[in-house]
Structure 1
Amino acid sequence: MQQFNCTTSNLKDSIFTWDYFVEFQKVKKNITKIEKELNLLNILIGKEDIEAEFINLVAEYPKVRTVLPILIAIRNNKMKETKIIDDFNELISENKDNLFNSSEGLTNELKEDLLAFFNNSGLRDIFEDKDIKNVVDYCFGVEVGMDTNARKNRTGKSMEIIVEKIIQKFSKENNLEYIPQATQTKIKSRWDVGIELDKTNRIFDFAIFNKSKNKIYIIETNFYGGGGSKLKSTAGEYQYLYDLLSKQGIDLIWITDGLGWKTTKKSLSETFIHNDYVFNIELIKQDILKDVVS
């Protein structure tokens, strides 16, 4: 229990670097793909007969319709799943994805629906009042805002980057091999070691191979800055995974960190007792992997 208390006493409060907040390369890539269509929309800025100009634009350049959702900060694939209410009296919702499908012919009904979108979404006012100066720049900002939704995924990626730097150095110093994003197929192909898994598509953060022992070690990582019910189920999942792998002579090393565990110590403690190797960042920085792997 003393070792557990030591582990929870030096949990990290953050693993975030400045590049955690916005992935600008992804933002630029997304904008570049639609830049031509966005530039065409600049024609509408400040126009007086803006409804007619809007319909003429989408009629002449149908692909402009495909970029309209980003103007209201929604992805096209999400638009397919989202039903819209046009009439508050009827409160009937309909899927309007066809508005943004450039291959669908521009009928009078579709023109009316496009104008309803343009007016009711607030876009007409934005263009008419010149609230934006350049649609490309505007959408760059929209993309930055939407990218913040991906921060949760980047938390896991940040943890993997930190751990990989340590594993990379450790493997080099101890004549070990490792694979990031290790799958059943990759492990078999690289080291000719078969692993039986509950899910064929399961991906491990890392796999380390000790040639002298002909032994595989699986490493999973995560970071929890805040508490929640998920932590309890996460701890239980790693007990299950430990049992699954240990039956095959494979050791599971779970590297987890974050002050979120302060709120769920009991669940972490149960896994700490059940599993052989539960570490935090501080412990692996102190070369504890050497006691396990080499």
Structure 2
Amino acid sequence: MRDFDEWLSKFRASISSYDYYIDFEKVVKNVEEIKVELNILNSLIGSKNIEEEFEAIVKKYPETLKCVPLLLAVRGNEIYAQDEDGAFLYNFKTMNYDVEQYKVFMRKTGLFDMIANHLVNNLVDYALGIETGLDSNGRKNRGGHQMEDLVEKYIVAAGFKKNVNYFKEMYLKDIEAKWNIDLSALSNQGKAAKRFDFVIKTDKMIYGIETNFYGGGGSKLNETARSYKMLSQESDTIDGFTFVWVTDGIGWKSARGNLRETFEVMKHVYCIDDLEHEVMNKIFV
């Protein structure tokens, strides 16, 4: 019998890898795509007649406008703005107003002031900084896949081959069709479109695997523990199918009660420490 408190004590604060923080390759690529246009706009830095010079640039090089959203840390080609003069949806890929209106935009957003008064010395460097900041927002997405990526490494290390005997992001209906097994007990008689992070197929068993990592607490953890407890109990009624849950993160320490309940009734719930001790070689038979 495993001891819950000892098991929980091995949960980690983070699983962040070196490339979790900033994807510099993507940052540089995004800026390179508009580097020429940014350098054209660099001629406006310190300008004494920035509005007239901006107008001349836009008329000669209208493609420079596509840089503007990034200078405001905005993704996309359109920006909405309104004031007492009305509401405007500016398109920075294809001009939908005259140059005068774009000058209003540059003036009222403060971009003219920033450029003319040397608040930045180089728009390419500034854009790199903006892109770096925007990319930090992508950490949530990268973090969401970190646990899956980590678990997959151990699946591969255990000798399984992708799309041969292990599969990623597989729906119940696809599992049923591929191996002719009835999983309606897990899908509320076909009403729920359940998907597993991984599915492993051995000669004797089909394993549905869920993975997650919680670095912080919250009500979601209690619901996760309850739902996986139910999923495990439902899986126990199906011959030839086993549910496996791999989770970790110190966020669980704030929801230890619900996790303990699931741990006590669920045979196959594991943490990263278990993976490091080659538990996968013991589970999948």
Identity, % of aligned pairs? 35
**Could you state the TM-score of these two structures normalised by the residue count of structure 1?**
0.80
3-state SS, counterpart of residue 179 of structure 1: strand
Alignment of 1:107-256 (within 5 A): 107=98, 111-112=100-101, 114-172=102-160, 177-183=165-171, 192=179, 200=193, 203-210=195-202, 212-213=203-204, 215-242=205-232, 248-249=238-239, 250-256=241-247
Distance 2:280 2:131 in 1: 40
Q: CA deviation at 1:284?
A: 1.9
2:244–2:268 contact (8 Å) kept in structure 1: yes
Distance 2:58 2:226 in 1: 53
Match of 1:265 among 244, 256, 260: 256
Report the counterpart of residue 281 of structure 1 in structure 2: 272
Report the counterpart of residue 45 of structure 1 in structure 2: 45
Relative to structure 1, is the Cα distance of residues 46 and 13 closer, same or farther in structure 2, using a 3 angstrom cutoff? same
Relative to structure 1, is the Cα distance of residues 288 and 105 closer, same or farther in structure 2, using a 3 angstrom cutoff? closer
With 23-32 and 137-146 compared, the bigger mean Cα shift is at 23-32
Q: CA deviation at 1:145?
A: 0.8
Look up the equivalent residue of 2:209 and give its one-letter code. I
Distance 2:243 2:29 in 1: 37
Look up the equivalent residue of 2:199 and give its one-letter code. A
1:69–1:100 contact (8 Å) kept in structure 2: no
Distance 1:222 1:102 in 2: 40
3-state SS, counterpart of residue 201 of structure 2: strand
Structure 2 gap segments, 5+ residues each: none
Relative to structure 1, is the Cα distance of residues 130 and 227 closer, same or farther in structure 2, using a 3 angstrom cutoff? same
Distance 1:246 1:34 in 2: 56
Relative to structure 1, is the Cα distance of residues 284 and 105 closer, same or farther in structure 2, using a 3 angstrom cutoff? closer
Q: CA deviation at 1:226?
A: 1.5
2:154–2:280 contact (8 Å) kept in structure 1: no
Look up the equivalent residue of 2:62 and give its one-letter code. P
1:47–1:128 contact (8 Å) kept in structure 2: yes
Length, aligned pairs only: 276
Structure 1 gap segments, 5+ residues each: none
Distance 1:52 1:244 in 2: 71
Cα shift readout 1:13-58 (whole Å, capped 9, x = no counterpart) = 2212222111112212322333333233223222221112222323
**Could you state the TM-score of these two structures normalised by the residue count of structure 2?**
0.82
2:44–2:115 contact (8 Å) kept in structure 1: yes
